[in-house]
Structure 1
């Protein structure tokens, strides 16, 4: 008679609706989104397949863009005149000066043809092995940067300086008969010659430089990380493959890639935990054989609070 029983109508499962760590009871879509955003160790087979398919699609789309020669040459003339109007049309002087030193220009031709791929793949492997928790975010920056570049290739066809007759530039690969450009000599039919804006040599080299500089703690390695995109800028201009404004386009693509990745992961890529989920910190059992982590408590990822680069 004295006590009043209140029936909530929620049943026994009501006792389990209290969220733990903000996840239990959350909508499935929200939980999936959080799981996708969580840093984790990458799977080798998945990453190899993703890179192979992505590069195949990149090459397919880039080469499928119509080679609009007339528009590309007009755009090259517009850029060249604009640079000269502001007193920054220095590419031809650099191109001719370097071409006069045979060993230097030949070395630059091979640099242009090889390091673009070798260094980028090397940095991806380094991230995968040494910073697996940050790998996915850093890889996403690279993929978004490249995807934005494809839009530029399609909507702004541009002839490189070496193919711009009105500029008086030298095609150093043809003159010195070296394998230094996929768009010169016997290889020119394998790729779109009028996809110079933006420069992915700059976009990718800046990505490599930023990744290594942010995560390495070895001084000479960080110096090389800074020098690599700077040297690449000199090479693409000296060999007549790009205007300096193409490099600005590559930088802008990278900034978009960084911004998109920051929005998706909620933090800068290099601020993610080094190891990511799946690598639990080993803790010794307590006295009496009790486990270090009480039942029901969530285990933390290894090195989650470790400063970037350690």
Structure 2
């Protein structure tokens, strides 16, 4: 079913591209089709990136805020109780320790507010541009022109058979390989994008069905949304969390900004989307950089420098998880749930690719019509 749907979308994209450019060369049609693909990808990535706002809109449209608040408080207290039973409830102690020994709240608040979207967008743009660059420069398009006889063929000219107008990895980015390193950039983009999109939408389901009040709102009594309703739980005797962004501010935005109040879901704590996106960025970097070459000796400085550049990215999700806890925006359980969701997303996409790898015949790629851009 998914294969037929994918074929239908590609056929529709070819027809739209042909209608836009009119009677023209295969390459111009391919460029137009690739542009339509880019618009579709940007729409999907943008919608996925706005799942927090979408969950806020759904809750505000379908649920009374008072009920929404009570349900999120109940889920938050359940998480606190579970953490206390397992010995994980260390958020308050960690925040107090950080405030006493490190502080630097302006940095950490800005890190929470700005690094999360900036780094994720940078990684998405990088793999997207990398995919389009491969589609625009690969040898397939040159061979496509070689399949057209020239007006004045030289004496040694030999026509290229239509079936040979595409390279073996030719025209479809959907064709899979057993190893990520064996995929071309278009296939690698689709793999990484699928993991990110699936993880974000699984988190969206958590925002919808398991709304959770973040730690910073548990003791708060004087924070109101744009409708004038109290957002906090006012549990001042049970909890001592400090809303660090509200108390110290950040360089980008504040919870009292009207746009934040109207668009943001205040109870989107479980799971932590910050953790999902940060861990995904680290995973993408590690997979794209690949292992060190076998030509590098273990004692070589270049070997260890490359290993540091590849695996040093792990510090980014670790710093992100530390940040979301000390700023009282998430529980430790939220971060662990985010890691679990990313692992589930990766496993689902990997199993799907392995399934497609067994069922896909690579010899069929050469028979695809030459109007496809990939």
Instruction: Give me the TM-score of the superposition, normalised by structure 1.
Output: 0.68
Residues in 2 aligned to 1:71 and 1:211: alpha-carbon distance in whole angstroms: 35
1:50 to 44, 52, 60: 44
Give 1:93 deviation, angstroms: 1.2
CA 1:133/1:236 → structure 2, altered by over 3 Å: closer, same or farther?
Answer: same
Q: Which position in structure 2 is the counterpart of 1:109?
A: 109
Q: Provide Cα deviations, 1:207-241, integer angstroms capped at 9, x if missing partner.
A: 11111012215433323321111111100001000
Give 1:108 deviation, angstroms: 0.8
Partner SS state of residue 298, structure 1: helix
Alignment of 1:1-310 (within 5 A): 29=4, 32=7, 43-56=37-50, 59-65=53-59, 66=63, 67=65, 68-100=68-100, 104-130=104-130, 131-165=185-219, 166-179=238-251, 184-186=255-257, 187-217=260-290, 218-266=306-354, 298=366
Do the aligned partners of 1:77 and 1:164 also contact (CA within 8 Å) in 2?
no
CA 1:31/1:153 → structure 2, altered by over 3 Å: closer, same or farther?
Answer: closer
Partner SS state of residue 194, structure 1: coil
Q: Provide Cα deviations, 1:231-274, integer angstroms capped at 9, x if missing partner.
A: 111000010000000012112221221122123322799xxxxx
Do the aligned partners of 1:262 and 1:268 also contact (CA within 8 Å) in 2?
no
Residues in 1 aligned to 2:6 and 2:82: alpha-carbon distance in whole angstroms: 51
Residues in 1 aligned to 2:356 and 2:365: alpha-carbon distance in whole angstroms: 28
Residues in 1 aligned to 2:103 and 2:316: alpha-carbon distance in whole angstroms: 20
Do the aligned partners of 2:72 and 2:267 also contact (CA within 8 Å) in 1?
yes
Give 1:52 deviation, angstroms: 2.4
Query: How much is the aligned-residue C-alpha RMSD, in angstroms?
Result: 3.4
Q: Which position in structure 2 is the counterpart of 1:272?
A: none
Q: How many residues align?
A: 244
Q: Provide Cα deviations, 1:176-215, integer angstroms capped at 9, x if missing partner.
A: 1325676x23233431111100000001111111110122
Larger relative contact order (Cα-Cα within 8 Å, sequence gap ≥ 6)? 2
Give 1:57 deviation, angstroms: 5.7
Do the aligned partners of 2:48 and 2:200 also contact (CA within 8 Å) in 1?
no
Give 1:32 deviation, angstroms: 3.9
Residues in 1 aligned to 2:252 and 2:81: alpha-carbon distance in whole angstroms: 27
Residues in 2 aligned to 1:77 and 1:297: alpha-carbon distance in whole angstroms: 55
CA 1:98/1:265 → structure 2, altered by over 3 Å: closer, same or farther?
Answer: same
Residues in 1 aligned to 2:206 and 2:308: alpha-carbon distance in whole angstroms: 35
Give 1:159 deviation, angstroms: 0.6
Q: Which runs of 5+ in 2 are unaligned?
A: 12-33, 131-184, 220-237, 291-305, 368-374
Residues in 2 aligned to 1:226 and 1:267: alpha-carbon distance in whole angstroms: 30
